[in-house]
A = this chain, B = another copy of it.
């Protein structure tokens, strides 16, 4: 391992030498010495200490992907011949190819490129995927088309364990292909959580095994605009192969209009005076049937999605409908809630969190739940999303001993001049007064791409490369990435890499890439 003195030298190094990897690795020792790579004589391999009886399917698939990324137009065939001139050899400390990445997975890796070979060591298979991505970004072509990689030493690990992107498939339906494409691009920026905001007011595209009417009646279209169980499995598996977790969100008790179409008596009937108005409000928290339904739905969700976390939403609950309903008011009276409807909301959320705990899942909620509820002990992870002094909110949450995911500064559904990527780069999640222990409770951040104005037509250029700015903030060392001007050319080059890999990332400013995106 590199010692502190080297680290110090390195710091200057990084500032002076261009290393075109995005997000920037923690420790890099570059060198001008370069080696030529040829697709015909390049190979990936396992180090002998890896139990080769169990071949690692995640890595085998990654070898194929990255070979085509390294050498566009070529397909990987695992040649064992004497013609191999350059081998990238992988060793893993743990043989964990069968599982799923999770919140505690190490993504640490060490990559050495030297004459005729490269070695990549990681604690887990997920870390080795990060290292492969880095290696792929180190390879470049000269003006004559030959491939090169420079002698390089890299030691790398993420600043934050949770680096997410939220896609909203309720306000507009996103074809599975658009989701998979986003997972590809996420892996290129080393994002590791796909927060799937599956359902909301406008539509319910998740096809439930137990409650098929939810999508039959609540989706935009019961056949073309749904995610079948097979679609969901495909997304989860595709994500896993790239070291990405899939975090499902079933937001309640608000944001549930579409649920009511397929599940009668779930939503609160709103009243005008003494009579029901025909419209419906949030989930009805006063009926036992509500909790039976939610327990049953969440049990299904818990088994379909392997991640140990479930996002329960809990944001923006409108009390006016509850207030209008005489049965709700009677329940409030009976429970001694007075006129404080946030107590009713807390009552509901606590029950849902308990259901989730019984299913051995950890729940994440939007900051509203933390803000309006006095009893906070039952909470685990709070996602901060509101604008304003979001670090004040982060501080309040960690002071209460809860973990935080920060989303406020990364609402990318808001379009803006592309060059304001710096706005998403200059974010300092830990720049609040707090103890080391409190700061360690900030587990990461998330880019939110809400769906009011986004669908498959504009998803990619709206997300990329602006989300990559957030990616570097969440992966890299703050001190080494505090300068926007220095980051700019590296991000421009990364954007060109995204284009070349088929991601429709929009331009940052005037100019061109060697390999432009070919429009259809």
Pairwise interchain contact A457-B453, C-beta atoms closer than 8 A: no
Instruction: Report copies per complex.
Output: 2
State whether A457 and B512 are in contact (beta carbons under 8 Å apart), knowing that A415-B415, A417-B415 are contacts in the complex: no
How far apart are A80's CB and chain B's nearest CB, in angstroms? 35
Pairwise interchain contact A458-B461, C-beta atoms closer than 8 A: yes
Interface-located stretch among A24-32, A91-99, A169-177, A391-399: A169-177
Complex contacts, A504 vs chain B, CB 8 Å: 457-458
Pairwise interchain contact B511-A172, C-beta atoms closer than 8 A: yes
Pairwise interchain contact A512-B172, C-beta atoms closer than 8 A: yes
Pairwise interchain contact B177-A520, C-beta atoms closer than 8 A: yes
Interface range on chain A (Cβ under 8 Å from partner): 35 or more
Q: Interface on chain A toward B: helix, strand, loop, or mixed SS?
A: loop
Binary contact track A156-184/B, C-beta < 8 Å → 1, others 0: 00000000000000011101011001000
A519 at interface (Cβ–Cβ under 8 A)? yes
Pairwise interchain contact A510-B175, C-beta atoms closer than 8 A: no
A310 at interface (Cβ–Cβ under 8 A)? no
User: Please, how many angstroms separate the alpha-carbon atoms of A133 and B516 in the complex?
Assistant: 33
A416 at interface (Cβ–Cβ under 8 A)? yes
The one of B414, B418, B453, B516 that contacts A453, using a Cβ cutoff of 8 Å: B418
Considering the complex, give the chain B residue whose CB is closest to the CB of A172.
Answer: B507
A518 at interface (Cβ–Cβ under 8 A)? yes
**What are 6 A-B interface contacts by the 8 Å CB criterion?**
A172-B512, A451-B510, A456-B516, A457-B461, A457-B499, A457-B505
Besides A175-B519, A181-B519, A461-B461, 14 more A-B contacts (Cβ < 8 Å) are: A173-B512, A175-B516, A225-B516, A452-B509, A453-B507, A453-B508, A455-B516, A457-B504, A457-B505, A457-B507, A457-B517, A459-B519, A502-B520, A520-B520
